[in-house]
């Protein structure tokens, strides 16, 4: 792979990760949000794969395949099942309305660009320059967890944060050890599994996944 193609592909996949994060803020229909998350997982895996191929790092390629399978396929499938079980799978009334939250996402992106400046200066590689995109994904994930009401949307927010951290890790350190990535991925997978069970319990108990209705204690 020559230098410029490597740079363009890496820019494209990292940019796609951020765009998918924004799409989850944009769309109200939960199936579309889960699809965007799945695409983000694939883009993240592709970014890791490109880094691995460029650095001839077999372990990183293995990690990339793991990420592709877990974040691109397994987790979205689990979430897709919750969504399919929910009759009204739309984010009808987020705390902040959609145009405002999109503009805030744009502001968060600029914030991430400013905040990542010292990190970018530390890593003078092609990958290092893209670190702000990972920071922005992370911030948008946090924001999504704050303003969304549905259980699934909040899980998606958590996963956005995780994907953002993973992207920063890949770009900044050029290769997380396999053991750590394995641990982190399993952790997230477990968390999503637990949340899925919790969400379907909430659904069967209250008939809705709207977390705002769970303010009071019941006997």
Partner 1 sequence: MTGGQVLAPILVAGAQIVIVGVGGLLLLGLMRKLRSRLEGRVGPPIHQPLLNVRKLFRKQRVRPEESSWVFSAAPVVLVATAVVVAAISPLATTRPPLGRSADFFAIVFVLLLGSAALALAALDTGTPFGGMGSSRAMTIGAIAEPALLVAILAMSIPAHTSNLPVLVRLGLTHPQMIASPGRILALGSFAIIILAESGRLPVDNPSTHLELTMIHEAMVLEYAGPDLALVATGEAMRFSLLLGLLVNLLAPWGIADRPGAVALVIGIAMLAVKVALAGVCIAIFEVFTAKLRLFRVPELLAGGFVLAVLGTVTALVVR
Binding pattern for the stretch 89-118 against partner 1, x by CB under 8 A and - elsewhere: ---------xx--xx-xx--xx--x-----
Which is closer to partner 1, CB of 106 or CB of 198?
Answer: 106
Residue 137 CB, shortest distance to partner 1, in Å, is: 11
Q: Looking at 15-23, 82-90, 158-166, 184-192, which segment touches partner 1 (CB under 8 A)?
A: 15-23
Least distance from partner 1 to the Cβ atom of residue 27, Å: 9
d(CA 19, CA 25): 10
Q: Which is nearer to partner 1, 42 or 82 (CB)?
A: 42
19 contacts partner 1 (rule: CB under 8 A): yes
Tell me: does residue 154 bind partner 1 (CB under 8 A): no
15 is a site residue for partner 1 (CB under 8 A): yes
Q: What is the DSSP string of the chain?
A: --HHHHHHHHHHHHHHHHHHHHHHHH--BHHHHHHHHHHHHHHHHHHHHHHHHHHT-HHHHHHHHHHIIIIIIIHHHHHHHHHHH-SS-B--S-SS-HHHHHHHHHHHHHHHHHHTHHHHHH--SHHHHTHHHHHHHHHHHHHHHHH--BHHHHHHHHHHHHHHHHHHHHHHHS---HHHHHHHHHHHHHHHHHHHHHHHHHHHHHS--BGGGG-S---
The answer to the question of residue 137 lying near partner 1 (CB under 8 A) is no
Residue closest to 44 by CA, chosen among 123, 136, 160, 147:
160
132 binds partner 1 (CB under 8 A): yes
Q: Is 142 in the site for partner 1 (CB under 8 A)?
A: no
Q: Which is nearer to partner 1, 69 or 104 (CB)?
A: 104
The residue among 130 and 166 lying less far from partner 1, judged by its C-beta, is 130
Question: Which stretches of the chain bind partner 1, using CB under 8 A?
Answer: 4, 8, 11-12, 14-16, 18-19, 22, 26, 98-99, 102-103, 105-106, 109-110, 113, 129-130, 132-133, 136
């Amino acid at each position: 792979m020559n230098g410029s193609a490597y740079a363009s592909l890496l820019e494209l996949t990292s940019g796609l990760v951020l765009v998918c994060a924004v799409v989850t803020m944009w769309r109200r229909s939960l199936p579309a949000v889960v699809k965007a998350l799945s695409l983000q997982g694939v883009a993240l895996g592709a970014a890791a794969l490109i880094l691995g191929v460029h650095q001839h790092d077999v372990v990183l390629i293995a990690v990339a395949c793991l990420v592709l399978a877990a974040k691109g396929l397994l987790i979205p499938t689990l979430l897709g099942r919750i969504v399919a079980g929910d009759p009204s799978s739309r984010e009808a009334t987020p705390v902040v309305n959609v145009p405002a939250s999109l503009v805030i996402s744009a502001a968060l992106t600029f914030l991430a660009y400013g905040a990542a400046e010292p990190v970018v200066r530390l890593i003078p590689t092609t990958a290092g320059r893209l670190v702000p995109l990972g920071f922005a994904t992370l911030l948008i994930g946090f924001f999504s967890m704050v303003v969304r009401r549905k259980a699934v949307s909040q899980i998606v927010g958590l996963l956005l944060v995780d994907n953002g951290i993973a992207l920063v890790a890949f770009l900044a350190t050029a290769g997380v050890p396999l053991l750590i990535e394995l641990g982190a991925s399993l952790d997230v997978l477990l968390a999503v599994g637990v949340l899925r069970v919790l969400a379907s319990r909430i659904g069967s108990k209250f008939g809705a996944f709207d977390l705002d209705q769970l303010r009071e204690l019941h006997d």
